[in-house]
Amino acid sequence: MFLALAEELHFGRAAERLRISQPPLTKHIQQLEAELGVMLFDRNKRSVRLTASGSALVQEARRIIGQADMAREVVRRAEEGQTGTLRIGFVAALLYIGMEKLIARLERNLAGVETVWEEMGSSEQIEALRHDRIDLGLAQISPGASGAGEMSIHPIAHTPLVAALPERHPLAQRKRIDPADLAGEPFIVIPRESAPAYFDLIVATCLRSGFSPNVRHYARHLLSVSSLVALGRGVSLVPRTPERSQLPGVVLKPLAGEPAQAEYSVVWQTANRSPVVERALGVLGVG
């Protein structure tokens, strides 16, 4: 009301602009002057003028209104998920199976949102989600996975398993590898507590071929698995990766028959209705 009168300098026009009658406007100005202990307007029957105190209050009132408008805009953007922080856990395998485009799309379409990425195993992501240390997980996990009952899981990618062999291995010249030919070979795997789905997939593939894998070495990351293969410490079954991602000294060979598929999913707390999470899920195509 004060600013309307300060701009119109006429009680009738200010009241009309505010869509109120003149008496409530007059009463409001009188109460404001009494509260501040100063006269804000010089007024008589013919004119209304701002006092020095009134002019000073105009500047302050406009500043406060501008800040209030800015605060409303900040709140609106946060409500729409246009600002904030998104904490993302991811398995290293995603960097080696051609998922760069998906990650780049996520970054590009979350302009205004700060993304924080942290590499962690699939089971670690479930625990991090459960304890609110991350908002989204990109994990090797399938819908209905045990121990993830309160999580929502949506598949976003899958890739076949291939045999990873040292380049001087006797089987390295074959076009395809029958998993049964790896019986008795020392296997390098990621521990089950870090990547249960990946570990179980390797074991199931071997069992279907009539043998139990001779697990001799453990590594916590896919790159470490490949590094040990390159050093000749054993063989492994790994997700197929682009050729440019292969380490020197490692040969990747398709498996004979219908190979098992490693499935990767976006995982989040079902109860998490954060606007930033909702926006990220939309970018990932999760309805």
Spatial CB neighbours of 171, under 8 Å, sequence gap ≥ 6 = 163, 165, 177, 181, 182, 253
pTM over 0.75: no
Residue 212 has a pLDDT of: 96
Residue 77 has a pLDDT of: 58
Residue 76 has a pLDDT of: 63
Residue 75 has a pLDDT of: 59
Only one residue has tokens 């993302």, namely 88
Only one residue has tokens 């953007």, namely 77
Helix axes 100-108, 275-283, angle to 10 degrees: 130
For residue 198, what are the β-bridge partners? Answer: none
Domains and CATH numbers, the chain: 2-79 (1.10.10.10), 85-265 (3.40.190.290)
Residue 113 has a pLDDT of: 83
Contacts made by residues 98-105, CB under 8 angstroms, sequence distance 24+? 98/159, 98/241, 98/242, 99/138, 99/157, 99/264, 102/156, 102/157, 102/284, 105/283
Spatial CB neighbours of 41, under 8 Å, sequence gap ≥ 6 = 5, 29, 48, 49, 50, 51, 54
Residue 268 corresponds to which amino acid? W
Spatial CB neighbours of 256, under 8 Å, sequence gap ≥ 6 = 176, 177, 178, 179
Q: pLDDT truncated to tens, each residue of the chain (287 aa)?
A: 788 878 888 888 888 888 898 888 889 888 888 988 989 898 887 888 988 888 888 888 888 777 776 667 555 655 555 657 889 998 877 776 666 777 778 778 887 788 888 888 888 999 999 999 999 999 988 877 767 778 899 998 888 999 999 999 999 999 999 999 999 999 999 999 888 888 999 999 999 999 999 999 999 888 899 999 999 999 999 988 765 567 889 999 999 988 888 888 999 998 888 888 888 888 888 86
Residue 244 has a pLDDT of: 57
- 140: Cα separation from own chain's centroid: 16
Residue in 181, 159, 186 with CA at minimum distance from that of residue 170: 181
Residue 59 has a pLDDT of: 83
Residue 199 has a pLDDT of: 92
Q: Where are the alpha helices (DSSP H) in the chain?
A: 2-8, 11-18, 22-36, 52-79, 100-108, 122-130, 196-208, 222-230, 275-283
